[in-house]
Amino acid sequence: GAVVSQHPSRVICKSGTSVKIECRSLDFQATTMFWYRQFPKQSLMLMATSNEGSKATYEQGVEKDKFLINHASLTLSTLTVTSAHPEDSSFYICSARDRPDGELFFGEGSRLTVL
């Protein structure tokens, strides 16, 4: 099946700094990518829908100025956590489809720890 790659897999940063997470579709073009957040032993919560060439659509309660999403090409979306705080520590997962009604492929996730 199609492959979605995330980088970095783990990142530790100091409070107040910004962190960028990349999501790449390796063997297909994705006009739409999705970003999820998962706290320990909890479900995946959709944060935003990333659309190539346009602004992301954020879910209710997600701060768009804190979680900046850029989808500059058909194979790359980035999530930047700005001015990170310890409560932003979480597992961030991206996903993408190779066609509108196709299977959703997930990345391996990025674990963010903010000290």
Partner 1 sequence: GENVEQHPSTLSVQEGDSAVIKCTYSDSASNYFPWYKQELGKGPQLIIDIRSNVGEKKDQRIAVTLNKTAKHFSLHITETQPEDSAVYFCAASGGAGFQKLVFGTGTRLLVSP
Q: Decide if residue 109 touches partner 1 (CB under 8 A).
A: yes
CA distances from 56 to 2, 30, 62, 111 (A): 23, 14, 12, 22
Residue type, 7: H
Q: How many residues bind partner 1 (CB under 8 A)?
A: 26
61, 97, 69, 49 alpha-carbon torsion, rounded to 10°: -30
Q: Decide if residue 87 touches partner 1 (CB under 8 A).
A: no
Measured from the CB of residue 106, what is the shortest distance to partner 1 in angstroms? Answer: 4
Q: Which residues bind partner 1 (CB under 8 A)?
A: 1, 4, 6, 32, 34, 41-46, 49, 51, 57, 93, 95, 100-101, 103-109, 111
